[in-house]
Amino acid sequence: MTRPDGFLAELKDAVSIRTALLVTGVLLVQLAFVASYVGAFHHQKAHSISVGVVVPGSAQQAGQLAGRLNGLAGSPVDARALADRATATRQIAGDDLAAALVVDPSSTHDELLVASGAGASLVTAVQQVADALEGQQHRTYATTDLVPLQSGDGRGLSGFYLVIGWLVGGYLVASLLGVAKGARPANLRRAVIRLGATVPYAILSGLGGALVVGPLIGALTGHFWALAGLGTLLVLSAATVTMAFQVLFGTLGIGLTVLLFVVLGNPSAGGAYQWQLLPALWRGVGPWLPNGAGTDAVRRIVYFAGHGIGVELVVVAGYAVAGALVTLVAVARRPSDATALG
* Tens of pLDDT, residues 129-170: 999 999 999 999 999 999 999 999 988 999 999 999 999 999
Between 33 and 111, whose confidence is greater?
111
**CA-closest candidate to residue 324, choices 249, 242, 261:** 242
- Decide if pLDDT at 188 tops 80: yes
pLDDT score for 341: 40
Task: List the chain domain ranges.
Answer: 49-145, 154-333
pTM of the model: 0.90
* Beta strands, E only, the chain: 49-54, 77-81, 99-102, 109-114, 140-145
Angle between helices 188-211 and 310-333 in degrees, nearest 10: 150
Residues 249-269, mean pLDDT to the nearest whole number = 93
Task: Indicate the pLDDT class of residue 21, thresholds 50, 70 and 90.
Answer: confident
Rounded to whole angstroms, the Cα distance separating 220 from 223 reads 8
Task: Indicate the pLDDT class of residue 66, thresholds 50, 70 and 90.
Answer: very high
Strand partners of residue 79: 51
Rounded to whole angstroms, the Cα distance separating 112 from 252 reads 50
Task: Indicate the pLDDT class of residue 10, thresholds 50, 70 and 90.
Answer: low
**CB distance 125 to 51 below 8 Å:** no
89-121 per-residue burial string, b: 16 or more CB within 10 A, e: under 16: bebbbebebbbbbbbeeeeeebbbbbbbbbbbb
